[in-house]
Structure 1
Amino acid sequence: MPSAVSSSQGAVAMLRFGRLAAMGTVAVLIVIAGVWGSWDTAQYVMLTKGRERGTIEVTRCGADTCSGPFTPLSAGARARASVVIDKTVAVKRGQTYTVVVKSDSDDVVRSGPAGVLYAWVPLGGALLLASVVVAGGLRLARVSWVLAGAGIALLTAAFVML
C-alpha cells in the first residue's frame, strides 16, 4: 500500500514536470513567433538571388511610408518612378538606400548588413522575452542569460547599423 509521503512526492514531481513542459512550450513558441515575424522581411534581404536589387532615393514621406524613385543595380531589374519603403527611424528624406524589391509589388526593403539586422529585430525582442520565461518559469539562469545576451546583441547591432 502506498504511503502518503510517496504519493505527495509523486504529485510534486508531476507538477514540476507540468511547469517545465508548459514554460518550455511558451519559451519555444515565443522564439518561433520572433522568427515568423522576422522572416517576412528577412527572406527578401537574405535570399536575393533572382530578386530586383537597387537603390531608392527617398523624396516623400507620409505617416507610415516613404517613397522615391528606384534605380536598378542588378541584372533584370527595371527602373521605377516610385517605390514604397516603410518609414522607420532609419529612413530619412533626401537619403539614398540600397534595397530589394518585394515580389510582385512596388514595396522595397533595406538590403545589406543594416537590412539583415533590421529584419531580425523581432527575433531579438522575442529572445529577450523568452529569456524572462526561461529564467522565471524554467529556472535556468545561464540559459536565460544566453538568450538575453543574444537578444541584446542583435538589437544593439541593428541600432548601430541603422
Structure 2
Amino acid sequence: MIPAMPATASTARQASVSALRFGRVAAMGAIAALIVFAGVWGSWGTAQHVMLTKGRERGTVRVTECAGDVCSGPFTPGSSGARARTRVEIEESVAVRAGTTYDVVLKPGGGDAVRSGPAGILFAWVPLGGALLLASVVVAGGMRLVRPAWVLALAGAGLLTVTFVALQ
C-alpha cells in the first residue's frame, strides 16, 4: 500500500473479493446440493419399492426371455397376499440374465418387478452414487473444498463398487 493512499481502498477491495468468493461458494454449493438431490430423486423411484416392502407382493421371478430393454418370466409368490402370475417384467440390465431366478418386489398396479434384497437395494441407489461422484467434482473445483470432495467421491465410488460386487 502506498503511504499517501487511504486505507479504505484496500478494505473495499478485500470486501469485494470476499463477496465474490462467497458468491462462488454459495452458487457451487447450490449446484452440488441440486446434483445430490437429483441423485436421490432418481434413486427413490425404484428404492421405495425395494426398501418399503410392507404390503407389496414379494416373490421370485425366473427370467425366461429378454427382448429390448425388458426381461420377463413367471412370478412365484413368496409373501402372504401375493398371487402367482404367468408373466411379469423386469428391466433388463447388467443385473438380469435369462435363465436365472431373482427375488423381486412387484410395483403396485401392474406386472413390473424390481430386484429385492441387498443387491436390489444397492442397485436402486446407483443414480445416487453417480451423483455423489459428480458433486465431488463441483465441490473440489467450484468450492475449493478438497477434503469434503474426497469424502463425496469415495462414498459414490464405494456405493458403485459394492453394487457391482453384489450383482455378480
The answer, yes or no, to whether TM exceeds 0.5 is yes
1:2 and 1:37 map into 2 onto residues whose CA distance is 53
| Structure label with greater radius of gyration | 2
Q: Report the equivalent of 1:67.
A: 72
1:127 and 1:57 map into 2 onto residues whose CA distance is 34
1:51 and 1:105 map into 2 onto residues whose CA distance is 12
Q: Report the equivalent of 2:145.
A: 140
Q: Report the equivalent of 2:87.
A: 82
After TM superposition, list the pairs within 5 Å mapping 1:31-50 onto structure 2: 31-50=36-55
List structure 1 segments (4+ residues) > 4 angstroms apart after TM superposition. Answer: none
Q: How far is the alpha carbon of 1:4 from its aligned partner? A: 2.1
Q: How far is the alpha carbon of 1:2 from its aligned partner? A: 7.4
Q: Report the equivalent of 2:3.
A: none
SS at match of 2:81: coil
1:62 and 1:69 map into 2 onto residues whose CA distance is 15
> 2:32 aligned with 1:27, yes or no?
yes
Alignment: residue pair count: 162
Equivalent of 1:53 in 53, 58, 62: 58
1:83 and 1:50 map into 2 onto residues whose CA distance is 18
2:143 and 2:76 map into 1 onto residues whose CA distance is 51
> 2:105 aligned with 1:96, yes or no?
no
For structure 2, the residue ranges without an aligned partner over 5 or more in a row are 1-5
Q: Report the equivalent of 2:8.
A: 3
Q: How far is the alpha carbon of 1:100 from its aligned partner? A: 0.1
Aligned Cα root-mean-square deviation (Å): 1.0
1:148 and 1:102 map into 2 onto residues whose CA distance is 32
SS at match of 1:104: coil
TM-score (norm 2): 0.94
Q: % of aligned pairs identical?
A: 67
2:148 and 2:18 map into 1 onto residues whose CA distance is 22
1:127-152 Cα deviation digits (max 9, x unpaired): 00000011111111110111001001
After TM superposition, list the pairs within 5 Å mapping 1:101-116 onto structure 2: 101-116=106-121
Q: How far is the alpha carbon of 1:65 from its aligned partner? A: 0.4
TM-score (norm 1): 0.98
For structure 1, the residue ranges without an aligned partner over 5 or more in a row are none
1:119 and 1:110 map into 2 onto residues whose CA distance is 9
Q: How far is the alpha carbon of 1:3 from its aligned partner? A: 2.6
Q: Report the equivalent of 2:21.
A: 16
Q: Report the equivalent of 1:160.
A: 165
